A and B are shown apart, each in its own frame.
Chain A
Amino acid sequence: MQSAPTSSSGSAVKTSSTTPLGGGGSNDSTATKRSTRVRPGDFIFRGLSTGSAVLIMVILAGVALFLIISAIPAITADWSTNSQLNTGPTAAFPNFWAYVGPLIWGTLWSAAIALLFGAPIGIGIALFISHYAPRRLASILGYLVDLLAAVPSIVFGLWGIIVIRPFLLPLSDWLSANLGWIPLFGGPVTTTGSTILAGALVLAVMILPIITSISREIFLQTPRLNEEAALALGATRWEMIRLAVFPYAKSGIVSATLLGLGRALGETMAIALIISPAILVSVRLITEGQNSQTIAANIALNFPIATTLQRDALIGTGLMLFVISLAVNSIARLIVNGKRGKRKKGKDKPSTPGPLSTLPSGDFASATAIDVVAGTPRIGVSDIEGPTPEEDIEGARY
């Protein structure tokens, strides 16, 4: 979302650094004069940043190559006769696909439940921070949510075992007794609480920071004019959010959710600790013998005792996870870029929100700066009646 304005403002800073703000006329001549001399700093920095970009491509390709090469022996092997594969954790499966299929299901299933809980709450928190909370509370809350991202997943795992599992036991019992006829709540009810429900709830907490921080940034970028127009037409705050903020932020919310999904798909330690896994396809939420295992947790649990080919099989499941994550991230990009592409074509102008369009198009740096300054007070908007003093001043600028 942010990449386009940031890069353009970066180049603008370079050219306009010596000229006063808004001096659009003299800007061009200075820039041409400067560009005739190549400075070593420019050269080195350009080399470094290009090198970094190339490096990440090489690393990604290297990881993909490693996964594919390592996985091939296990994928092509005959699992029923191979002495390394017909023992231990892979004994029950005739081939690689029978092994990885339930794991893919378990990965998607647990992540989907986590999203079901995590996405609405994450978006709710983001909305509260951007549009409802008083400024002080908003910044504290934003900080706290970001702090959540710094908690190691093994701590979440222990928290899940010691707190969440017993906490959910009465709920599981109730669901089993009263709604046991629904397949979701079927099966023998748990006694230790080691369910996919508990795991997915902890997972939901773990993806909150990602969803919240991205959604918050996007909500804050809603064009002020749209919001003010909605309020001026007599919309309540909720109606303003529904009419102005949500339509603007739709693609951003989707990409935030999908990035959260990506996090949930790859989570390992918390899942491995909390859920009692089995490699089977199941939708049951509150049993402990029939929870579908996830790919990442399965690797963590079985890697230490794996034979050579079993290790290759685990790497093969990792390859599948890689493909799934790639697909999820690509879909997120497609949704975001697709929306933006359309808008760009329609407007024929950078789609950077805020008052940018009213400023000289050459001066992105100051425009972005103003946008940032103008953006922050919005956190503090707390009264519903009308614009705050800051907004009045800001309005005068137009």
Chain B
Amino acid sequence: MKFKNVAATGAVFLAAALALSACSSSTSSTGSSTAASTGTAAAAAVVSTPDSSLTGTITAGGSSAQANAETAWTAAYTAQVKGVTVNYDKSQGSGGGVTNWLAGSYDFAGSDAPLKADQQTSSQAICGTGGGLNLPVYLDGVAIIYNLPGVSALNLSTNTLADIFALKITTWNDPAIAADNPGVSLPATAITTVTRSDGSGTTQNFSNFLSAAAPSIWTFPPTNTWPIAGTSAQKGGSGVVQAVGAGAGTIGYADHSAIGTATAATINNVAFSQAGATAAFTAGATTVPTTTGDLSQKFDYSKLTGPSIYPIPLISYQIVCSTFKDPAQAALTKSYVGYVASSVGQQIAQKNAGSAPIPDSMLTQIQATLATVK
């Protein structure tokens, strides 16, 4: 009994020590990354220096795609502004985040899709006549991952990709795939497409791409839930990555920052890179015109061609009120989102969450919009 107690106490101490060391290491790493980014901030175009005297709590939630970036932003931001706590709940998903934000419980929502027209209307209840503002702060790519023993590099053209996910191509040695991969010997394995079973911004972005880039093959409207039965549908991006890894002849799509060690195919001979995603934003994204300074983006996928542009980008937004009910929360949220939408903030997400930086021209527009937020 005594020994047990001693052992238990020892275990507690050990756990405490581990926790402490984990704490200190994370603190030091954020410290260093902040320091590093402050160093580069001098050269960066968009600077947002948070007021370190602010105090309070920012409550937010939504998209799980930007969750890793939110963690990095929060750590870096609260290191500078010690009095502020940022709580971002990624378990809500984009839709849940917007729902909670519309109910008035969030200061901002993270969402992979901008507000729909009816949501924009109902947001006037909490935001005044200006409604909500969609601010694109997170950029990444949809990666096409596959598991085909013996094939270590795979290229797919847009049409072949659409054919595969529309279940029109069902074996790996199909002539269309062979034509995309000259010189590669493809097995006769059946193709299992792995998709999301839950609603997802990744699905939304991927089906945006499919319906715009291959409209004759992909006849379904863009949607956040996979429209075709007969696939292997998995919960969450990690579920897709797991299932693709577990089966032979599988192919699936996932947020690029979440694919881990899975093998990604090149699309039209372009592999994903952070620079490629940023280039896609610069080349194809246009702001949907509004009078409020809202910055919803629409991609013209026909412009996303060329060896340095990744054709399936993924955007995630932070959605804030144009007029907050509480001016104190407005100041806090503006400070945090302003930090996120600075060159420094984008570099932190790039480094810690693997996302691509939003181009400076867009960051400048976000800062301009934020300046109008009351």
Scoring A161, A188, A193, A288 by chain B CB atoms within 10 A of each residue's CB, the highest score goes to A288
Contact pick for B199, options A83, A89, A289, CB 8 Å: A89
Scoring A89, A194, A302 by chain B CB atoms within 10 A of each residue's CB, the highest score goes to A194
Closest residue of chain A to B233 (Cβ to Cβ) is A276
Known: A192-B243, A272-B197. A305 touches B234 (CB 8 A): no
Known: A276-B232, A278-B230, A290-B229. A191 touches B192 (CB 8 A): yes
Chain B residues, Cβ within 8 Å of A92: 227
Q: Mark each residue of chain B from 173 to 207: 1 if its CB lies under 8 Å from any CB of chain A, else 0.
A: 00000000000000000101010011110000000
Q: Does B96 contact A (CB under 8 A)?
A: yes
Among the 9-residue stretches B87-95, B125-133, B137-145, B283-291, the one with 4 or more Cβ atoms under 8 Å from chain A is B87-95
Contact pick for B198, options A83, A161, A279, A305, CB 8 Å: A305
Which residues, 216 to 274 on B, are CB-close (under 8 Å) to A? Answer: 221, 223-225, 227, 229-235, 239, 242-244, 246-250
> Do A302 and B231 touch across chains, with their CB atoms under 8 A apart?
no
> Do B198 and A304 touch across chains, with their CB atoms under 8 A apart?
yes
> Do A190 and B233 touch across chains, with their CB atoms under 8 A apart?
no
Q: Does A224 contact B (CB under 8 A)?
A: no
Q: Does A277 contact B (CB under 8 A)?
A: yes
User: How many Å from the CB of B364 to the closest CB on chain A?
Assistant: 32
Which residues, 144 to 175 on A, are CB-close (under 8 Å) to B? Answer: 161-162, 165-166
Whole-angstrom CA separation of A210 from B230 in the bound complex: 35
User: How many Å from the CB of B345 to the closest CB on chain A?
Assistant: 26
Give the interface residue-count category, chain A.
20 to 34
> Do A194 and B229 touch across chains, with their CB atoms under 8 A apart?
no
Known: A194-B232, A194-B243, A289-B230. A303 touches B190 (CB 8 A): no
Residues of chain B at interface, number, CB under 8 A: 34
Whole-angstrom CA separation of A162 from B234 in the bound complex: 13
Chain B residues, Cβ within 8 Å of A165: 246
Q: Mark each residue of chain A from 286 to 312: 1 if its CB lies under 8 Å from any CB of chain B, else 0.
A: 001110000000001111111000000
Scoring A84, A87, A92, A190 by chain B CB atoms within 10 A of each residue's CB, the highest score goes to A87
Contact pick for A301, options B194, B197, B221, B243, CB 8 Å: B197
Closest residue of chain B to A84 (Cβ to Cβ) is B118
Whole-angstrom CA separation of A156 from B234 in the bound complex: 16
Whole-angstrom CA separation of A92 from B227 in the bound complex: 9
> Do B232 and A305 touch across chains, with their CB atoms under 8 A apart?
no
> Do B92 and A304 touch across chains, with their CB atoms under 8 A apart?
yes
> Do B225 and A191 touch across chains, with their CB atoms under 8 A apart?
no
> Do A289 and B198 touch across chains, with their CB atoms under 8 A apart?
no
User: How many Å from the CB of B188 to the closest CB on chain A?
Assistant: 14
Whole-angstrom CA separation of A272 from B197 in the bound complex: 8
> Do B192 and A302 touch across chains, with their CB atoms under 8 A apart?
no
A193-B246, A301-B197, A305-B93 given; name 14 further pairs at CB < 8 Å: A88-B223, A88-B224, A165-B246, A188-B190, A190-B232, A194-B232, A276-B197, A276-B243, A289-B230, A290-B229, A300-B198, A301-B199, A302-B225, A305-B225
**A–B complex contacts, Cβ < 8 Å, 30 sampled:** A92-B227, A165-B246, A188-B190, A190-B232, A191-B192, A191-B247, A192-B192, A192-B232, A192-B243, A192-B244, A192-B246, A272-B198, A272-B235, A276-B231, A276-B233, A276-B234, A279-B229, A288-B233, A289-B229, A289-B230, A290-B229, A300-B198, A301-B198, A301-B199, A302-B199, A304-B94, A304-B96, A304-B199, A305-B95, A305-B200
